Structure formats: structure tokens, C-alpha cells
Amino acid sequence: MIDRPNEDEEGGTFSPVFDKHRSELTELIHEIHGRGWSPGTGGNFSQVLSREPLRLLVTPSGVDKGYVKPSELLEVDADGKVLVGDMPPSAETLLHIVIAQETNAGVILHTHSIWNTLASLSEKDGGYAISHFEMLKGLQGIRTHEHTEVIPVLQNSQEMNSLGEELRKILRDESNPHGVLLKGHGLYTWGRDIFEARRHLEVLEFLFEVSVRARSLEQ
């Protein structure tokens, strides 16, 4: 059952559970912005509110992620249509929908950091491989540093329909990646809940920085 908002005459209040999602996601977005991973209105963020039918809480387009308010988050359906909210959704909402449909994600985070952008440029054969770091164990299901995590890298595009279909294919074909990079653009990662998604983002941002720095030391 969908936890629908209880709007008053002004349309301004939401049910307690809905409020909780909005404030938790907003708090995380502010933290991500504060860590420099979503500068200049970059990045977008979402939380799955229900799966049948699919409902997502998403950030609106073009807002500074350091100042976004819980009440500004939008509720969209599986086509990206806004059901609750009065701002346009991010152009990349469709990619969040694809990830929600093809993975067990409860929270989806998209960042434009320096290190994930640099890592995306070092792609080889459509992926960015990270091996032998203890921090790999922070990714769900990884038990040893003797693991090679290959983050798929998609060519960047402003054509969201075709990019969304490429992303869908990767998520179906690859063996459960913990994230996907868009070349010269940024990272999508996710988790079953807000804690796992936050951990995956923190771990991957660490791994991108340390591996890109390590590679530059080797040259």
C-alpha cells in the first residue's frame, strides 16, 4: 500500500512516515553536498516509497543540494510523472526509475565528484576495475580484499530514453554491480536502505580517490 501524503488545505503537510523519508533523504543530501560530491546543483537522489505501483521520492531539477528542503522533494510514478510537488523533476529521474526497477535499491544516489569523474575517464573495456583494497569489504556481499569490483562505465548522453535502456541492459547483464559510472559525468550507486546506500557511496568515493591516486603514482 502506498503511504499517501495527507495534505491539508494548503497541500503542505505529509503523513509521519512520508515526513520521515523526506527528512532522512534531505539530511543525507546535505551531507553529500557538504562533502563536495554534488557541487553546482549537480547530482540527484531518490528513495523508493512503494514498488507496486512504483513510487519514488526524487530531488527536483536545478536546486542547490546544500539547501534543498524536505518539502521540495517530489513524488513521481514509474513514468517520471510528478504526483506530489510543484517543481520539475531532474532530467535523470528516468535513470533512477530504471535502477529501482532492475535492482533491490531502496535509495539511489547520483553524485558528480572529482574522483568519480576522473575514474570514469580511466575506463577500460567498458568498466573501471578496483582490486585489492580492504575498503572493498564495505560493499554489500564482498568478504575479502582479494576481489575485483568492476564498475560499468556508460558513455554520457543527454538522451535519457536511450541512456536508460543502456543502463537497464547493463543491470541485467552484469553480475550485480554496486554502481555504474557515466563517463565524464558521475556515479550512480544504491543500497537496500538509506544506510546501505550511504555506505556504498562513501566506500566507492574512497575507492575511486585511492585507486586514481595510486595509478597516478605508478606513472
**Site residues, Zn ion (CB under 5 A):** 186
Minimum distance of Zn ion from residue 38's CB (angstroms): 9
- Rounded to 5 degrees, what are φ and ψ at 199? -65, -45
CA distance 202 to 209: 11
Q: H-helix or E-strand containing 179?
A: strand 179-182
- Select 177 or 186, whichever has its Cβ closest to Zn ion: 186
- Rounded to 5 degrees, what are φ and ψ at 84? -135, 125
- Select 5 or 117, whichever has its Cβ closest to Zn ion: 117
Residue with cell string 497541500: 11
- Select 5 or 186, whichever has its Cβ closest to Zn ion: 186
- Select 154 or 207, whichever has its Cβ closest to Zn ion: 154
- Select 38 or 211, whichever has its Cβ closest to Zn ion: 38
Minimum distance of Zn ion from residue 185's CB (angstroms): 6
Minimum distance of Zn ion from residue 181's CB (angstroms): 11
Q: Are 92 and 160 in contact (CB under 8 A)?
A: yes
Q: Are 192 and 199 in contact (CB under 8 A)?
A: no
Minimum distance of Zn ion from residue 25's CB (angstroms): 17
Helix, strand, or coil here: 82? strand
- Select 186 or 191, whichever has its Cβ closest to Zn ion: 186
Minimum distance of Zn ion from residue 112's CB (angstroms): 6
Q: H-helix or E-strand containing 96?
A: helix 93-102
Tell me the residue nearest to Zn ion as measured from the CB.
186
Angle at 51 between CA 47 and CA 53, to 5 degrees: 120
Dump strand ranges (E) for 52-168.
54-58, 74-76, 82-84, 107-111, 127-131, 148-154
- Rounded to 5 degrees, what are φ and ψ at 63? -95, 145
